[in-house]
Structure 1
């Protein structure tokens, strides 16, 4: 066991330190939420630059050497503080970019002006993932000069847009980012009052399918009947993606082993916001369907708006699909299976063109060993004895597989600040402030317990 030269703060000291720092941490979180850093095309990327600068300044305030880096994409921030002699190094990940807000009329308040209502802080990025950044900052501020581990903070700037430059950034800064433990604060807890460690995530294939039946629009009365319009053809094609009970009908997509965690249907329906009378689709347990099996969703359709549609047959229509992949699937192979299905089921000889937007691999994380035991102990303490649940996630964080490949000896821990009511990516995104306080304490305790474990893996 290495000899530690930095005394490790006790649990009571850390509790007091985190509580002391929380007001300033919240104020800085609100400042970050006010920056509309959206990395998508068509948005003001100067705001992403502004966001990166704000993050770098926060890290410098924690005593880290921080700088902005990029590799052909949006700006990321790397901050470093070397480990005391014999101590391990922990890489802390989050992202500072956010999703577009969508229809502003669906927001109850300005998405970029944080507002507290009923113990929750509302605003775009308040949960996903600027609170992840501030949980890291809270832990660092709590320790001050007594930080018992080395830290590397990697705060990405285009995660919501697909992390296109992330692999290049990791390769270019691999030596600097090498760590014994990697904490990725971009997931969710099982419930309010119940922490979670994420052990698996589905992969993703996003693609476009365009259907064409006519060279140009024609009169719906003169030609309607024998001539198929593209919207009807597209509708039939999209309907072929599921069978009669709602299971995905695309041949060649993998299924993982069934999940072992129960998710009561009444709770799931409430958290999803399902309209009364609407049935769930598919077969098997709910956690099987959202963690271990593929899913297909239609995210949008390009076609004339109803208010502006003339009485003419639509010649072409386009849809965007999001396909989530079970662990063990390969996104390249899955895309070929999806494309083959769509081309094979083209109705009435319609021309079908399928193009890939982006993809990402699924992953499974082995959560055994002393470092994960240290994480569980930290969570139990922060949540007053509640045992963390090991969960899968139906969503995708494709870069975790990249971290696994580049840093195979590191213990990768996927944590998060969200809860089932956070509505990340949707209108009225919010952060439960009580849970955020627990997350900040848990991370501080985790760093202390990793230091106590003293296990260097690299």
Structure 2
């Protein structure tokens, strides 16, 4: 583990933010460093580019007749945000207590290093064939992933797939992610006027685009906070112990603010639809004129049931927005992005082996099956491309990791257990026949 941690820290120091506005040479450097780590474990490695950021593909043949395992993670990271929001240097891994802080140290460079650790534990000779796919653009939507799977899919085919980009139930309790919500993101525009006009002269008789937009956005939830778009799928989530106090502690819900929605908290976060306004185009408060603004625009992120079709959900949302146009204002809805959800049939020998590996790595604590409210569209892409493979969605994060936010961190004890669990998983998969 000391060597694994040292390599993790070196990889994390590379600021591989894949957003266009950042220097993409760092993403190239991160791909090269990842490739070197895999070559050191005996893999044949290639860096591939299919119109997007560099991905790393490696392969290590196994014994004759042994199953093949595909290990996935991503080496790109989220933007750091404002340095002032961080308590430690953004790209210099810093230990505070049991946690290591830095952007990307958990999401998902610890996922990369968990794969390296499992290979290193076997001295480069695991009892299974191993393919590794480390993506370079997961944080910006995986635009070239379909092309990579189409062109290089034969090299990635496997009997079991370990996708290391999720989280555990809590520190000390491992988890397998068996459901993921899908996602639909749209831009809605509400137009009331051809041009701006004096609010004193025409206000009271003429609507403005921003007020109309606000009224339209208010129709997206009912009084309890449930999504009010008709026709969307919903179901009950797993029956795990998760209280409102847990929600407040994990989310940072401000004092006095009530949770929204009805039903169990986990159902609200894992299997019911959710709607968030993630951006609005509007004049700033400091520069606002006394004007009826002609048009308002907002970006909406809707999370949908794991089995919901993104196309069906988009059409339902579009119809709702158009049907609820305030004062007959002109409403246009543009699809910005979409991603399918995922639901695993988490039964069979591969899942049995995974649960035993987790149990032993966590000193007898049983792994729980969890859902994740966020969307990881690449999981659905792998499930579609490799329908016969058992898919294990694992990860190194915990409720206090704060991935994507300031002060992202990795619990070092959990990281060690994840590395051990994956090493045990490769060992035990060697005893599972391909059938």
Alignment of 1:123 with 2:123, yes or no, is no
Contact residue 58 and residue 131 of structure 2 kept, 8 A: yes
Q: Distance in 1 between matches of 2:123 and 2:350?
A: 23
Find the aligned partners of 1:76 and 1:378 in 2 and give their Cα distance: 29
* Residue in structure 1 matched with residue 55 of structure 2 by the alignment: 76
1:293 equivalent in structure 2: 272
Most deviating of 304-313 and 70-79: 304-313
Q: Are residues 1:169 and 2:148 paired?
A: yes
- What is aligned with 1:444? 423
Match of 2:66 in 1: 87
CA distance in 2: counterparts of 1:236 and 1:320, whole angstroms: 15
Q: What is the match of residue 139 of structure 1?
A: 118
How far 1:400 sits from its partner (Å)? 1.4
Who is 1:414 aligned against? 393
**Counterpart position of 2:403:** 424
Aligned mates of 1:258, 1:187 — CA distance in 2? 17
In 1, Cα distance between equivalents of 2:205 and 2:91: 51
1:435 shift after superposition: 0.5
> Contact 1:262–1:287 (CA<8 Å) still a contact in 2?
no
Corresponding residue for residue 379 of structure 2: 400
Within 2, Cα distance between the matches of 1:46 and 1:233? Answer: 44
1:456 equivalent to 2:425? Answer no
Q: Give the superposition deviation at 1:115.
A: 1.6
SS of equivalent to 1:211? strand
Give, in angstroms, the shift of residue 226 of structure 1.
2.2
Give the TM-score normalised by structure 2.
Answer: 0.97
Asked if residue 355 in structure 1 is aligned to residue 334 in structure 2, the reply is yes
Contact 2:105 2:409 in 1 (8 A): yes
Name the structure 1 match of 2:138: 159
How high is the TM-score relative to the length of structure 1?
0.92
> Is 1:256–1:328's contact at 8 Å kept on the other side of the alignment?
no
Inter-partner Cα distance in structure 1 for 2:92 and 2:298? 33
Give the deviation of 1:243 after TM superposition: 0.4
1:9 corresponds in structure 2 to none
Aligned to 2:221: 242
Q: Return the alpha-carbon distance in structure 2 between the equivalents of residues 35 and 342 of structure 1.
A: 43
* 2:10 equivalent among 31, 56, 59: 31
How much has 1:179 moved relative to structure 2?
Answer: 0.8
Measure, in 2, the Cα distance between the counterparts of 1:162 and 1:435: 28
Structure 1 distance, partners of 2:332, 2:81, is: 27
| Alpha-carbon distance between aligned partners in 2 of 1:240 and 1:101, rounded to the nearest angstrom | 34
Where 1:402 maps in the other structure, the secondary structure is helix
Give the number of equivalent residue pairs: 435
Say whether the 8 Å CA contact 1:256–1:327 is kept in structure 2: no
C-alpha displacement at 1:311, in angstroms?
Answer: 2.5
Q: Distance in 1 between matches of 2:428 and 2:134?
A: 23
Q: CA–CA distance in 2 between the matches of 1:185 and 1:145?
A: 20
Cα distance in 1 for partners of 2:59, 2:237 equals 40
Picking from 169, 178, 183, the partner of 2:162 is: 183
Q: Work out the CA distance in 1 between the residues paired with 2:126 and 2:76.
A: 27
The equivalent position to 2:202 in structure 1, one of 223, 226, 243, is 223
Structure 1, gaps ≥5 residues long:
1-21
Kept after mapping to 1: 8 A contact 2:18/2:139: yes
The alpha carbon displacement at 1:271 in A equals 0.2
Cross-structure match for 1:340 = 319
Q: 1:130 offset after TM fit, Å?
A: 0.8
1:284 is aligned to 2:284: no
- Structure 2 regions of 5+ residues with no counterpart? none
CA distance, structure 2, for counterparts of residue 112 and residue 214 of structure 1: 47
Gap change, CA 1:53 and 1:229, over 3 Å in 2? same
Corresponding residue SS for 2:314: helix
Aligned partner of 1:103 in structure 2 is 82
Does the Cα contact within 8 Å between 2:237 and 2:371 map onto a contact in 1? Answer: no
Displacement of 1:410? 1.1
Report if the CA contact (8 A) 1:77-1:155 is conserved. yes
1:308-358: per-residue Cα shift (whole Å, max 9, x none)? 222323222221111111022100111111111111111122222211111
- Secondary structure of the residue aligned to 1:384 is coil
Structure 1 residue 221 displacement after superposition? 2.6
Instruction: Give 1:65 shift.
Output: 0.8
Q: CA distance change for structure 1 residues 102 and 213 in 2, over 3 Å: closer, same or farther?
A: farther
Shift of 1:272: 0.6
Closer, same or farther in 2 for the Cα pair 1:261/1:172, shift >3 Å? same
